[in-house]
Amino acid sequence: MTPAQDLKASKKAPASASAGEPASLFEREGKPSPKYFVPLALQHVMAAIIGIITPAMIVGNACGLPSEDSAMLIQAAMLFSGIVTLLQAHPLFGRVGSGLPVITGASFAFVPVLNSIGAADGIAAVIGAQFVGGFVAMAFALFLKPLRKLFPPVVMGTVVFCIGLSLYSVAVGYMAGGNGAADFGSAQNWIVALVTLAFCIFFGNFCKGVLKLGSLLFGLLAGYVVALVLGMVDFGGIAGAAWVSLPRFLPFGIEFRPDAIVSLGSMFIIAAVEMMGDFSATTSGAMDREPRFKEIKGGILCEGFASTVGALFGGLPTSTFAQNVGITTSTRVVSKRVFACAAGILIVAGLMPKFAAVLNTIPMAVIGGATLTVFGSITVTGIRILTRDGLSARKGTIAGTSIALGMGISMVSGALAGPGIPAWVTSIFGGSAIVVTTLMAIVLNLVLPDPDGERAVGAVEEDEMIGIDGADLAIDEHEAALHGAAVPAESKAV
């Protein structure tokens, strides 16, 4: 690099960059050496790995999968998280992918609906609904401008709040040992879960640096050690797992159930709106600009395409990870090499069934303790979205009524299974609170008087940069704070 080029690059680097960090780390097309980009890639993987494998473990348990099949689900989750991350960094055909520095993985937002479908109809129905749901996400990207108007902050805040509430029973059930376990609710399970929870809180609030960044990971490892000492870890599935294996086509079969497709399809739209927020937070906080329309469109297309293809190989729906957005905006490291390397690490891990089998030995109580704070923070994020500009009577009516109806129906078994109600109504609206809450919030937002302009979401121009409130739309913003890498304040007010 010539002195002139070095000076030009240094102006783009943040003021906090040390002399040992090449300026190319802070350029999207920069080419830093492995000694710089490999540690930074590992940092992203460490922040994302638990968020990637945990939904796979939870859904596998809800579907009643044996340990070897659950390991296969974890393996596919890691593999396709890496593939989608790579496509986001290097768009396919220049169109399928955002070209932005983001990490993707299985999203907790999908878990309540996936659990509902899996428990009622099995894993094959989950795969079928995901296959079609990917096309829903791609259609949303193609018709982004008109559809986006249905999801202003008041609707998104209501939905995010409901997602958090819906996950509480999942976390507590896991803390007790996992529904159906012989020792469900035992003192031993609760001790391990609470110890894990305590470590997660400790690392996230009383530590700094890598311990704070990886609070969820290190808390889980601490809980795992306690469970190991108490004899709760079963290594039986590791010996039979292969070291290297390619994904199998339709390993769980596929079944197309209209009710499951409608339920999961709605979640793909919600996740697409979440991604818009993550893209905005990334470009605003790390690249000093707004995301371009083609970047958001390409990013959503990529997630939809990958979810459809991933379903055929046992992968779960993916979305951008806000904890990694937090890392990117804090460090301002955006070089494609960093994210391609992180993607490569995830892909290699996804091709190793032995590694997935090891991860599958984590007891349910440990998973429950590690995820309780995450699920609680989702609810808090929903509250923040709703109250950002004050909690008006209109917002209160939309949120309160929608959540009360959605949660109420899901909590009362058979509430929509009486005489005169078709079975498909029960399947779509009776299993998950999120679908009912989302539809109710959209309808109320459209019909209630709007003197304060709470329906407004801003215009989207085809060839211009667009501003989307990353703080308001990022469902997983809680995880960024959990890992000690919150999105900077200046990137939130876009």
What's residue 491's pLDDT?
35
Which tens digits make up the pLDDT trace of 458-487? 544 444 444 444 434 444 444 444 444 444
CA dist list (Å): 166 to 2, 109, 138, 263, 358: 56, 10, 26, 14, 29
Q: Under 8 Å CB-to-CB from 15, ≥6 apart: which residues?
A: none
> Residue written as tokens 């596929």?
254
Q: What average pLDDT does the chain have? A: 77
Q: Is the pLDDT of residue 136 over 50?
A: yes
Alpha helices by DSSP H, listed for 176-237, are 187-206, 209-213, 215-229
To the nearest whole percent, how much of the chain has pLDDT over 90? 10
Is 360 strand, coil or helix? coil
pTM of the model: 0.67
Q: How confident is the model at residue 208 (pLDDT cuts 50, 70, 90)?
A: confident
Where does the pLDDT of residue 295 fall: very low under 50, low under 70, confident under 90, or very high at 90 and above? confident
CA distance 346 to 77: 9
Average pLDDT (80-99) is 87
Longest dimension (CA), the chain: 80
Q: 378 and 78 in contact (C-beta within 8 Å)?
A: no
